[in-house]
Structure 1
Amino acid sequence: MKGINSLTPKETVAELDRYIIGQNDAKRSVAIALRNRWRRQQVEPPLREEIAPKNIIMIGPTGVGKTEIARRLAHLAQSPFLKVEASKFTEVGYVGRDVESMIRDLTQLAVNMVTKEAEEGVQGKAAAMAEERLLDLLLPRSPGQGTGMSTSLGANVISLGYDAGADKQEASRSQTTRERFREMLHRGELDDRMVELAVSSAGGTPVVEVFSASGMEDMQSSLQDAFSKFFPKKKQPKKMKVPEALEFLKREEAERLVDTESVVEKAIRRTEQSGIIFLDEIDKIASRGGSSSGAPEVSREGVQRDLLPIVEGTTVTTKYGPVKTDHILFIASGAFHVCKPSDLVPELQGRFPIRVNLHALGEEEFFRILTEPRSALIKQYTALLATEDIQLVFEDSAIREMARIAVQVNQKTEDIGARRLHTVIERVLDEVSFDASDREDLVFTVTAEYVRRQLTEISENEDLSRYIL
């Protein structure tokens, strides 16, 4: 596959098609948004800073693929990605989370991502250094080893003399023993041996808790970091087997080799230039059209007002430094059942120029969702039962029957889209999943008749469907 950052819109859509069924309009929109990020990087700097991301609102019922499209897009772009529910935020001055916390969370995700990449880049060197430290533990040096000092006793005199030959012999024997232990380590012959390491204890830093209004939840983390510098973590001995000790030492060496300042600098740059925030349930903070004004309406509009500068472009203070939000891509989504995008404050509407409607899913889409994607549910359950040596076989008619019943239940109760398929297939396979370890027949075929036997009674009773499916 081509470099991730140079994928064309058609190639991005093709990648999304491997995991998500239908919703071509939404795929096209996010593919163009991703490509525009690459295009922006090719523009000369003075104009580049003026090109703002084209934020997107995806409109559609639950369970039709809105979140999955955004998540897969972030994976393709190798970007820091954060999914937040807009309804969890409160207006500044109220108790709860403030909107700036999403930028702090996104920055933390970027730091974790870049740190992991940096540690993977030094794995070879870290492994070599960890092996040497482990051999030092397995072969502790004796107090006078390698000094080359010989002691001779006279009548009443102790004379010390340097014996270069003895020193070389001792060093040669020590090196030979070390290499023999190294070979034994590689062959796994030392796996059952125990070694003792100094491990940081969790009780070295005082616990600081901050109880306050919104905007203060980041203070606890910052204070904790500050206190950790004044109260270094205590070390305590811990015994572990050689393989566990080697992995522990590899992690320690990798952390030591990583340049923290460089990681933070790169993470902030990645947050600012390629971060993606998925704002779910944005319709929950829209004022209901025609409703009388009241505290809840004021609070909703207050959250929108607080959100506006973040989306427009501002600088948010994080524990890693200031982060600019001008070029972070925001993808919002909502069902908009009782309101419409025009119920958002006009300024916020203007910051989401691209609007995409996602349609409800039918029986044919459900059938394809069960079978086509790389991580389709049928493939997942087949792999799970294969661990019990059960070969699970689904007839096409059985899959279509599950799709039909899922659609039927959605129509009778509440439409939760493709999420209904998880409950349906779990109910169908309930018996075989429970008895799998004790079954004598190693092939289990799911037929349409079996599906009906497991589900028809429940699906036809609206009350049962509501509570079971």
Structure 2
Amino acid sequence: MFCIKNGFKNVNFSDYLNPEKIKIELDRYIIGQNETKEIISVAVYNHYKRLYLIKNKKILLEKSNIILIGPTGCGKTLMVKTLAKIVNVPIICVDATSFTEAGYVGDDVESIIQKLLHECNYNVELTEKSIIYIDEIDKISKKTDFFSGKDVSGEGVQQSMLKLIEGVILNVPPLIERKNLQQIFSVDTTNILFIVGGAFSGIESIINYRINQELNFIKKNFELLNIINYTNSDDLINFGIIPEFLGRLPILAKFKELNESEYVYILIKPRNSLIKQFCYLFIIEGVNIKFTFDAIKEIAKIAVKRKIGARGLKSILESVLLKAMFIFPSKINLKLILIYKDVIIFNKKPLFIYK
């Protein structure tokens, strides 16, 4: 039995949560990605079990940070934020592209801890048990200038993150100067769970090349598959992630592109689904709006075709409903607006039904 003390409540963690329960909670908010949910659920559970073992001096286990790979809009950030809520620990999400090497204009990587400490209201113990999510990690991949042979991108930033992720004691000033808060805080990053994520756009060609070289398969045989599932550490190194950085992120979780049925589910099922949000915009003015199921399926097909992810669904709906949103506020006695299949396919005018 072990317990998380997080500043909000003390829980007997093994009774309160286990990997299976964590996944069940994730299923309530995240569509699909079942294998990825299992990997992350086990990783997070083991991380906090590790903290218990260290606290009770039973055994010393190395930390297992996580790297997430998947296309834009597949739910990486949402999954991490949901995990933090489930285990009830603070989290901050930062963008890797905002960081630079020491001595250059931009944020220093140590400012991450400063932001986390501020988020934890300067509770050092809580800070040292929190989660940090670094997004867009693929944007700081190592790239070499053809003429000089020198790194012209993010290897220096990756190098500067190594100690931070592995574990280092930092002297951190408060983010905002306050009269009663002038002291320097000593924060140990050893037990902070680091999760990094990125779309790694273009890595498919690296994976395809490796598979063809190793197994002598024809490339087109793999174009029908979700090739991201075949990603390994060699592919990430060839993409530009340095081996030392990758070595501190031993758990690799891969996200698949969402399919049509998953987009349909996202549109209609969640409590705060996009279609429900748009329906509310109309109903507050006394007008109902309905979507036929065929229309919803066509919206999902567009999302799959454009590969825009769940975030892109809103832009599709905005475009589809533009005419209706322009016209309906000026219509008297309007009762119902019906969005049918041809509205999506041929940009036809929605059906207006009056009282």
Q: TM-score range by the shorter chain?
A: 0.7 to 0.9
Among candidates 343, 348, 351, match of residue 450 of structure 1: 343
Q: Distance in 1 between the 2:52 and 2:24 partners?
A: 24
Consecutive unaligned residues in structure 2, runs of 5 or more: 1-10, 175-184, 204-234, 350-355
Deviation at 1:30, TM superposition (A): 2.0
Partner amino acid for 1:277?
I
Q: Which residue of 1 is the match for residue 192 of structure 2? A: 328
CA distance in structure 2 between the partners assigned to 1:11 and 1:79 by the alignment: 17
Kindly indicate whether the alpha-carbon contact (under 8 Å) linking 1:55 and 1:352 is maintained by their aligned counterparts in 2: yes
Identify if the C-alpha distance between structure 1 residues 419 and 49 changes in structure 2 by more than 3 Å, giving closer, same or farther: same
1:242-253 alignment runs, 5 A limit: none
* Partners of 1:98 and 1:104 in 2: CA distance: 10
How many percent identity over aligned positions?
A: 38
Further displaced range: 333-342 or 348-357: 333-342
Hey, what's the Cα distance between the residues in 2 that align with 1:63 and 1:270? 30
How far is 1:313 from its partner? 0.3
User: Deviation string for 1:153-194 (max 9, x for gaps)?
Assistant: xxxxxxxxxxxxxxxxxxxxxxxxxxxxxxxxxxxxxxxxxx
1:303 counterpart SS class: helix
| 1:373 aligned onto 2:270 | yes
Counterpart residue number, 2:173: 319
Which amino acid is the alignment partner of residue 325 of structure 2? S
Aligned-residue offset at 1:354: 0.6
How far apart, CA to CA, are the structure 1 residues paired with 2:30 and 2:144? 33
Tell me, yes or no, if structure 1 residue 36 matches structure 2 residue 46.
Answer: yes
SS at match of 1:443: strand
Whether the 8 Å CA contact 1:41–1:48 is kept in 2: the answer is no
| 2:59 is aligned with 1:87 | no
Q: Helix, strand or coil for the counterpart of 1:278?
A: strand
Indicate the residue corresponding to 1:428 in structure 2.
320
Go from structure 1 to structure 2 and tell me whether the alpha carbon gap of 1:48 and 1:60 turns closer, same or farther (over 3 Å shift).
farther
Normalised to the residue count of structure 1, the TM-score between the two structures is 0.58
User: How far off its partner does 1:42 sit?
Assistant: 3.9
Deviation for aligned residue 1:428: 1.2
SS in 2 for 1:416: coil
Cα deviation, residue 298, structure 1: 5.1
8 Å contact 1:19–1:374 — kept in the other structure?
no
TM-score, normalised by the number of residues in structure 2: 0.75
Whole-Å separation in 2 of the counterparts to 1:403 and 1:33:
32
Structure 1 position 346 matched with structure 2 position 201: no
Cα shift at 1:45: 2.6
Q: Give 1:101 shift.
A: 0.6
Aligned to 2:223: none
Amino acid at match of 1:378: I
Shift in CA distance, 292/52, structure 1 to aligned 2, threshold 3 Å: farther
Secondary structure in 1 matching 2:196: strand
Q: In structure 2, what is the Cα distance between the partners aligned to 1:276 and 1:29?
A: 17
CA distance in 2, matches of 1:433, 1:68: 29
Query: Which one is further off, 420-429 or 438-447?
Result: 438-447
Mapped to 2, the partners of 1:71 and 1:292 lie a distance apart of: 42
Distance in 2, matches of 1:109 and 1:42, equals 23
Q: CA 1:426/1:49 → structure 2, altered by over 3 Å: closer, same or farther?
A: farther
Asked if structure 2 preserves the Cα contact closer than 8 Å seen for 1:427 and 1:454, the reply is no
1:79 is displaced (CA, Å) by 1.9
Asked if residue 271 in structure 1 is aligned to residue 127 in structure 2, the reply is yes
Distance 2:295 2:289 in 1: 12
Higher relative contact order (CA 8 A, sep 6+): 1
Q: Distance in 2 between matches of 1:346 and 1:307?
A: 13
Letter in 2 for 1:310: L
Q: Which amino acid aligns with 2:127?
A: T
Whether 1:16 and 2:12 are equivalent positions in the alignment is: no
1:416 and 2:308 matched: yes
CA shift at 1:270, angstroms? 1.1
Are positions 1:283 and 2:176 aligned together? no
Deviation at residue 318 of structure 1 after TM alignment:
1.9
**CA positional deviation for 1:299:** 4.8
Once the 2 structures are TM-superposed, how far is the Cα of residue 26 of structure 1 from its aligned partner? 2.0
SS of the equivalent of 1:330 reads strand
CA 1:34–1:43: 2 relative to 1, 3 Å: same
- Taking structure 1 as reference, are residues 14 and 435 closer, same or farther at Cα in structure 2, changes over 3 Å only? farther
Q: Aligned in 2, Cα 1:279/1:429: closer, same or farther, shift over 3 Å?
A: same
Deviations 1:79-114 (A, max 9, x none): 221111112211111111110011101111111xxx
